[in-house]
């Protein structure tokens, strides 16, 4: 499990300059912890987006509306996607980006040229999962901060590679976990930090989302194109074919880890995981493509439902579930339970002592939400809703990390969180493939969790934002109202 990590440590980065000679900005330091790490304020944030597919194009449009953020570079294998990206930028009134077109047979070429350029400060990585670590590591070695769509890494070696690269280069590596900025998640965090739920004991998170049709779709022009939203080369389906366990853990897992202060006062000790058999994708393939089709004859390693349970060093438990196959309503569970009460989402419910045997009535819940509305949501929630992105939480996430960079603040989530929240991709497979064997969770902080402070109740000061010529697609009036 640590073979690649041992190799990286053994070489002590001696070959880094030779390997990454094109990165003129490459600066290796003696390293240091990234917990609480800050850089000098960067008022104008130039962002290069790598992977301008469906989610990437949404990101370009959002980022272009964040005050002080400029999308200056775009990279993709499809030129039409780059054009779409510029259209999204144009809506904000900001300048068009430089294009870094690459080819499917040389997928690393484009992002490397982008990282080597002097056009960007942050590389925003929305590529297929297999390129998350290569592109982000290269960005950091080129002196750029990086922000990575989730999961950030697909195995333990990749987790360590991200951690050790961030430490050596002293560059931010930000996990783009938008669900940490949902209104219910922010409410839960404020309830937890305010002591309303008491001492935390148990949490549950999940990614339950019927993607059977979407997994088989592909880009327009492909012979596999369907009416569903497609992905390049069906890359996500291919992960279902080769990886059992939980390949997409962070949407439900990340918020629970923040509530509990994982990596900041507590740490994951071990995990056990089990998977059901696979049935739904095979059934869907037979019904859609025919019983004799290649799709129907393929073997899908991913069980329809995976359930993993962690125990922390402080004796708490976390259940994380994954199901992207069965036809059931979307759900992240988002449950956090303590000695004084419990919050559970989908739909949002709260029960507190002395009446914890039943959920709060609607009026009681409304009053609780009003009293404990998170300050960040109170400040920017309505703005975020107008800009959009999963109800606004995507914009809230981008606004917050950009604000931290612009004001020299530590990130809400760092490289250790990126690794910890993503490590279940390998650990669940290892445990599930071995009859639920208990697996130790690596401590990516190397003991730093014992003294690190949990994430507090953060906010943004709208008066410190540089609006410049940004247009917010109808939200500018709300900004002016708030100011």
Under 8 Å between Cβ of 23 and 171: no
- Shared domain for 220 and 271, answered yes or no, is yes
324 to 95, 237, 281, 389, 442: CA distances (angstroms): 39, 11, 10, 21, 27
Q: With respect to residue 390, please indicate whether it lies within any of the assigned structural domains.
A: no
Q: With respect to residue 12, please indicate whether it lies within any of the assigned structural domains.
A: no
Strands 145-148 and 317-323: unpaired
Give the count of domains, the chain: 2
Quick one: pLDDT at residue 18? 36
Please tell me what DSSP assigns to residue 218: B
Q: With respect to residue 131, please indicate whether it lies within any of the assigned structural domains.
A: yes
- Shared domain for 142 and 187, answered yes or no, is no
Residue 216 has φ and ψ, to the nearest 5°, of -90, -5
- Shared domain for 150 and 236, answered yes or no, is no
Q: With respect to residue 434, please indicate whether it lies within any of the assigned structural domains.
A: yes
Q: In this predicted model, what pLDDT tens digit does every residue of 438-461 receive, in sequence order? A: 999 999 999 999 999 999 999 999
Q: With respect to residue 456, please indicate whether it lies within any of the assigned structural domains.
A: no
Name 403's bridge partners: none
For tokens 């569970």, name the residue: 333
- Shared domain for 152 and 205, answered yes or no, is no
Quick one: pLDDT at residue 5? 53
Quick one: pLDDT at residue 8? 45
Going across the sheet that includes 317-323, the strands are 349-352, 341-344, 335-338, 200-208, 317-323, 306-312, 268-275, 439-440
Q: With respect to residue 279, please indicate whether it lies within any of the assigned structural domains.
A: yes
- Please report, for the domain that includes residue 263, its CATH number: 3.30.360.10
75 to 23, 44, 110, 141, 233: CA distances (angstroms): 17, 21, 6, 18, 17
What is the rounded CA–CA span in Å between residue 247 and residue 302? 9
Which residue in 235, 49, 81 sits closest to 148, CA to CA?
49
Name 268's bridge partners: 312
- Shared domain for 82 and 192, answered yes or no, is no
Under 8 Å between Cβ of 203 and 335: yes
Tokens representing 153? 């890494």
- Shared domain for 168 and 229, answered yes or no, is no
DSSP element (H, E) containing 222:
none
Name 318's bridge partners: 203, 310
30 to 72, 169, 297: CA distances (angstroms): 31, 8, 52
Q: At what angle do helices 3-11 and 156-169 cross, to 10 degrees?
A: 20
- Shared domain for 194 and 340, answered yes or no, is yes
Quick one: pLDDT at residue 30? 60
- Shared domain for 430 and 362, answered yes or no, is yes
- Shared domain for 206 and 235, answered yes or no, is yes
- Please report, for the domain that includes residue 54, its CATH number: 3.40.50.720
Three-class DSSP category at 331: strand
| pLDDT < 50 regions, the chain | 1-4, 7-22, 24-28, 221-228, 474-477, 480-483
Domain final residue, candidates 159, 176, 193? 176
- Shared domain for 220 and 158, answered yes or no, is no
Q: With respect to residue 466, please indicate whether it lies within any of the assigned structural domains.
A: no
Domain final residue, candidates 143, 176, 209? 176
Is the pTM above the cut of 0.95? Answer: no
What is the rounded CA–CA span in Å between residue 474 and residue 387? 8
Q: With respect to residue 361, please indicate whether it lies within any of the assigned structural domains.
A: yes
Q: In this predicted model, what pLDDT tens digit does every residue of 336-371 receive, in sequence order? A: 999 999 999 999 999 999 999 999 999 999 999 999
Q: In this predicted model, what pLDDT tens digit does every residue of 273-287 receive, in sequence order? A: 999 999 999 999 999
Residue 112 domain boundaries: 39-176
- Shared domain for 171 and 206, answered yes or no, is no
Three-class DSSP category at 337: strand
Quick one: pLDDT at residue 232? 79
Tokens representing 412? 């809400």
Quick one: pLDDT at residue 469? 56
Please tell me what DSSP assigns to residue 324: S
- Shared domain for 197 and 171, answered yes or no, is no
Write the Ramachandran bin of 125: left for phi over 0, alpha for psi from -120 to 50, otherwise beta: beta
Domain final residue, candidates 176, 201, 225? 176
Show the CA angle centred on residue 233, arms to residues 232 and 236, nearest 5°: 80
What is the rounded CA–CA span in Å between residue 308 and residue 257? 14
Quick one: pLDDT at residue 74? 98
Quick one: pLDDT at residue 229? 55
């Amino acid at each position: 499990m640590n073979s690649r990590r041992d190799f990286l440590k053994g070489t002590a980065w001696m070959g880094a300059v030779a390997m990454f000679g094109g990165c003129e900005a490459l600066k290796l330091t003696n390293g240091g912890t990234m917990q609480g790490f800050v850089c000098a304020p960067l008022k104008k944030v130039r962002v290069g987006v790598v992977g301008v597919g469906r989610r990437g194009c949404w990101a370009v449009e959002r980022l272009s509306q964040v005050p002080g953020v400029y999308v200056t570079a775009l990279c993709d294998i499809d030129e039409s996607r780059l054009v779409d990206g510029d259209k999204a930028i144009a809506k904000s009134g900001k300048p068009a980006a430089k294009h870094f077109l690459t080819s499917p047979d040389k997928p690393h070429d484009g992002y490397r040229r982008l990282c080597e350029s002097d056009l960007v400060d942050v590389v925003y990585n929305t590529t297929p999962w297999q390129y998350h670590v290569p592109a982000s590591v290269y960005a950091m070695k080129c002196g750029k901060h990086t922000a990575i769509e989730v999961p950030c890494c697909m195995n333990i070696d990749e987790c360590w590679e991200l951690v050790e690269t961030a430490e050596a280069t002293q560059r931010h590596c930000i996990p783009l976990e938008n669900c940490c900025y949902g209104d219910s998640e922010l409410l839960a965090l404020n309830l937890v930090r305010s002591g309303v739920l008491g001492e935390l004991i148990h949490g549950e998170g999940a990614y339950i989302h019927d993607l059977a049709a979407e997994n088989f779709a592909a880009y327009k022009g492909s012979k596999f194109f369907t009416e569903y939203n497609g992905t390049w080369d069906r890359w996500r389906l291919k992960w279902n074919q080769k990886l059992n366990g939980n390949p997409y853990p962070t949407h439900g897992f990340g918020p629970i880890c923040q509530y509990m202060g994982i990596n900041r006062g507590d740490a994951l000790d071990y995990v056990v995981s089990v998977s059901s058999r696979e049935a739904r994708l095979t059934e869907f393939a037979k019904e859609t493509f025919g019983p004799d089709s290649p799709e129907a004859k393929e073997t899908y390693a991913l069980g329809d439902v995976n359930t993993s349970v962690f125990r922390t060093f402080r004796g708490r438990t976390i259940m994380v579930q994954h199901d992207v196959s069965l036809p059931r309503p979307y759900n992240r569970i988002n449950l956090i339970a303590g000695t004084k009460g419990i919050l559970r989402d989908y739909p949002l419910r709260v029960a507190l002592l002395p009446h914890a045997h039943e959920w709060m009535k609607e009026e009681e819940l409304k009053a609780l939400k009003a009293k404990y509305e998170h300050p960040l949501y109170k400040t920017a929630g309505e703005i975020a809703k107008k800009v959009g992105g999963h109800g606004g939480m995507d914009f809230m996430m981008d606004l917050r990390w950009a604000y931290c960079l612009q004001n020299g603040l530590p990130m809400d989530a760092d490289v250790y969180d990126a690794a910890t929240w993503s490590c279940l991709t390998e650990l669940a497979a290892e445990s599930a493939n071995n009859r639920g064997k208990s697996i130790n969770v690596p401590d990516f902080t190397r003991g730093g969790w014992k003294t690190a402070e949990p994430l507090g109740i953060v906010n943004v000061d709208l008066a410190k934002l540089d609006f410049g010529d940004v247009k917010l697609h109808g939200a500018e009036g709300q900004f002016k109202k708030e100011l």
